[in-house]
Amino acid sequence: MANVKLSGVWKYYSEEAAAVQDVKLSIDSGEFIVLVGPSGCGKSTTLRMIAGLESISKGEIEINGKVVNNVQPKDRDIAMVFQNYALYPHMTVEKNIGFALKISGMDKNEIKRRVLNTSSILGLDDLLRRKPGALSGGQRQRVALGRAIARDPAVYLFDEPLSNLDAKLRVTMRSELKALHRRLGTTTVYVTHDQEEAMTLGSRLVVMAGGKVQQIGTPLDVYNNPVNRFVASFVGSPTMNFIEGTIEGETFSPENSAVKIPLTAQIIDANALQSGQKLCLGIRPQSVTLAGDATPGIELDTTVELTEPMGDRVDLRLGLDESTQILARMPMNEVPANGASLRVKLPHEGMMFFEATEFGKRLGREPVAST
């Protein structure tokens, strides 16, 4: 087990653009850290720098207090699981799992013992004599895991290990991974572009975009207190509603729309909003409720434009007017008809305000110190 520390890490593939910019991250021993972000944001590059497969352009990476910038991958005491498994195609499952042990010069019986132990943890006992070509995707994934586990490394590195599996298997493997981590307690750095996978697996998330770290925090922290509009939109499903507009006195006027959303002095105050300010109102679909209960909020008349019932809940696209729509996710026994009018409430608690740009800062919050 080990801690991992990245101090101001940069990666340039070419001189003009940095794929990874100034990443600072301190991972405690035993943590399950998830790097999450859209495609091309630099997650894999960061992971590969920790693995030693990619050189570090600037900054330092430490594993267990030792700077590893110039240490070979094999001497970093890490194991990596690749997206396409990278199993050795001509070796049996048994040989695949034992390959690293064999290279390390371990005694034959000890290798056998470890391979069997690993295969029983992962339920691979019946497959040991097979070659990867004769395995299903899920089984290959398990073998790739086994190869990492058998070595008992200080750190596990995962690069989108579940993304080649079908949706159902992905969910199963997700909980297996979680259980495995609980059992082994090994420091883990996990890369995914799937925010749901990130939320369910990570003890902390590192949300990245454009090569930069946007926010580091526990899943709930990131969900409830996104530091900017990007994080707010990336984390959570369905995506948060954003309405751009202007503050006029105590009302919020969405752009190109006659609708006025009345705010309270308290909200104006709490979020440090200023009259005339252009900004972006954000509210999660799950926060929107039916009007009528006692929670403080703003009630609005809307028209139901689209319904997507899912049995236990329904997703509604609601029009405030022709140009402004919001999505609401509600528990509902009776699905309203298209075109019906519906009075809904935007609870004060669920409202967030951002500067009106893609990476616009969250307003009215002290920037959360992140390490």
Partner 1 sequence: MSTGSRVKPYLFLAPFLILFVVFTVVPLFQAVPLATHHTFGPDASTYVGFEKFAQAFSDARFWKALRNTLVFTAGSVFIQLPIALGLALMLNRKRVMGRGVFRLLFFSPQLVGLVFVAVLASVMFQKQKGLVNTAIAGGADMLRSIPLINANAWLPTTSELLNTPWLESLAMRTLIISALWMYAGFNMIYFLAALQNVPSELEEAAMIDGAGPVRRFFAVVLPSIRPVAVFVVLLSIIGSIQVFELAYIMLPEGVGMQDSGLTLVTYLFKNGFEIGDLGYATAIGWLIAVILSATAITQRLVNRQEAHA
Ligand X SMILES: Nc1ncnc2c1ncn2[C@@H]1O[C@H](COP(=O)(O)OP(=O)(O)OP(=O)(O)O)[C@@H](O)[C@H]1O
Point out which residues bind ligand X (CB under 6 A): 13, 19, 37, 39-45, 193
Task: Among 17, 55, 58, 88, indicate the residue that binds partner 1 (CB under 8 A).
Answer: 88
Give Cα separations from 3 to 63, 115, 188, 339, 358 (angstroms): 6, 26, 10, 56, 34
| Contact between 78 and partner 1 per CB under 8 A | yes
d(CA 202, CA 214) in angstroms, rounded, equals: 16
Tokens of 222: 């990131």
DSSP 195: H
| Contact between 100 and partner 1 per CB under 8 A | yes
| Contact between 171 and partner 1 per CB under 8 A | no
d(CA 370, CA 135) in angstroms, rounded, equals: 43
By beta-carbon proximity to Mg ion, the closer residue of 55 and 323 is: 55
Q: How far apart are CB 15 and partner 1 at their closest, in Å?
A: 16
* Contacting range for Mg ion; rule: CB under 5 A; set: 17-25, 36-44, 52-60, 129-137: 36-44
d(CA 152, CA 37) in angstroms, rounded, equals: 28
Helix (H) or strand (E) holding 24: strand 18-27
Residue nearest to Mg ion (CB): 44
Task: Among 65, 89, 133, 292, indicate the residue that binds partner 1 (CB under 8 A).
Answer: 89
Name the β-bridge partners of 290.
Answer: 344
DSSP 23: E
Task: Among 15, 39, 65, 103, indicate the residue that binds partner 1 (CB under 8 A).
Answer: 103
By beta-carbon proximity to Mg ion, the closer residue of 44 and 188 is: 44
By beta-carbon proximity to partner 1, the closer residue of 151 and 229 is: 151
d(CA 109, CA 134) in angstroms, rounded, equals: 26
DSSP string of 230-293?
HHHHHSSSSPPEEEEEEEETTEEEETT----EE--HHHHHHTT--TT-EEEEEE-TTT-EETTS
| Contact between 271 and Mg ion per CB under 5 A | no
Tokens of 153: 């490394």
Nearest CA-CA partner of 38 in 202, 228, 240, 212: 212
What residue 73 binds from ligand X, partner 1, Mg ion, none (CB within 5 to 8 A, per partner kind)? partner 1
Residues binding partner 1: what is the number (CB under 8 A)? 21
Positive/negative CA dihedral, 209, 215, 219, 223 = negative
What residue 333 binds from partner 1, Mg ion, ligand X, none (CB within 5 to 8 A, per partner kind)? none
For the chain, how many helices (H) and strands (E)?
9, 20
Task: Among 58, 66, 74, 343, indicate the residue that binds partner 1 (CB under 8 A).
Answer: 74
Tokens of 327: 């999505």
What residue 309 binds from Mg ion, ligand X, partner 1, none (CB within 5 to 8 A, per partner kind)? none
* Contacting range for partner 1; rule: CB under 8 A; set: 68-76, 211-219, 280-288, 340-348: 68-76
| Contact between 12 and partner 1 per CB under 8 A | no
Residues forming the site for partner 1 (CB under 8 A): 51-53, 72-74, 78-80, 82, 84, 86, 88-90, 99-100, 103-104, 147, 151
